[in-house]
Amino acid sequence: MTEDLKIRNYSPRTIQVYINRVAKFAHYFGQSPDRLTREHIREYQRYLVEDKKCSWSQLNQTVCALRFFYRVCLNQPTIVEYIPYPRQPKSLPVVLSRQEVSRLLAAADNLSHYPVLTLLYATGVRISEALALRVGDVDSQRMVIHVREGKAGKDRYLPLPDSLLEALRAYWLACRPVGFLFPGRDPHRALTGRTVRRICRQAANQAGITKTVTPHTLRHSFATHHLEAGTDIKTIQMWLGHRSLSTTSVYLHIAMTSQRNRSQSDDLLAGVLPAPAHSTTAD
């Protein structure tokens, strides 16, 4: 299954998730998954929904993994028809106000924490995309950030706001990362998603924000604030890396009408960043 996923250029994260979901399916019945039938699949889906009370994302990941396994690895496309996708809930995403973003960034007073959260909000990148960035992907000459192999393996360029560049330069002068822009304790490995999620929680608690704040909350806030500032939804779709405009349009339901000057909408950090306490003077 791993080979089949790699041949089709699935991302390392997706491969890990798919393998994990099929392994849990097999473990539940204590049998090799190629011996399990559509009746087992139905029972497992019932278990996830009724007993485990799994989230929609977990259910969807399991369905995608099982459908791939039976269709591609076992060449049993007829079974795939009996693996329905779960109905996606219609809940709206959590979005921070610009004032809450300002408090959140001010609370992230660790030199390595602050630039991560700042980049997530200022560009709207997915956490996996942010952590995969390398120092050379920040192009200060063209004022763009090169996101390599985002979701579905697609590259894209994102605008690099002046305020973000200033924050990243101060961070680079202090920490001097060489490979990954945000390395972990091992300089040859990037920070983990778990670490960044913990950073978000800690900063939100420190800032007194009662909403559930995750790295994806900053992505939601990025899209909503740009809509409120007058940025075209097609442009936001391109920045977010959405394949379908319908995915981006969910933010239309939560964005407020704004007459703010469009020329100010490119740099969300303007007026949001706390007073510079992270600048470092190089010798």
In the residue annotation, 126 being an active-site residue is answered as yes
To the query of whether residue 151 is one of the catalytic residues in this protein, the response is: yes
Tens place of pLDDT per residue across the chain (283 aa): 999 999 998 888 889 999 999 999 999 999 999 999 989 999 999 999 999 998 888 999 999 999 999 999 999 988 888 888 888 777 778 899 999 999 999 999 888 899 999 999 999 999 999 999 999 999 999 999 999 877 766 899 999 999 999 999 999 999 999 999 999 989 899 999 999 999 999 999 999 999 999 999 999 999 999 988 889 999 999 999 988 888 888 787 677 544 444 444 567 777 677 765 555 544 4
Catalytic residue among 40, 71, 134, 242, which?
A: 242
- Domains, the chain, in order of start with CATH, read 2-80 (1.10.150.130), 98-264 (1.10.443.10)
Tell me how crowded residue 234 is: count the other CB atoms within 10 A of its CB. Answer: 10
Quote the tokens at residue 224: 């909503």
CB 273 within 8 A of CB 118: yes
Whether 253 is catalytic: no
* List 219, 220, 226, 278, catalytic entry: 219
Nearest to 161 by CA among 207, 197, 217, 120: 120
Asked about 216 being catalytic, the answer comes back as yes
| Distance of alpha carbon 105 from alpha carbon 207, whole angstroms | 9
70 noted as active-site residue: no
Is the pTM of the predicted complex or chain greater than 0.85? no
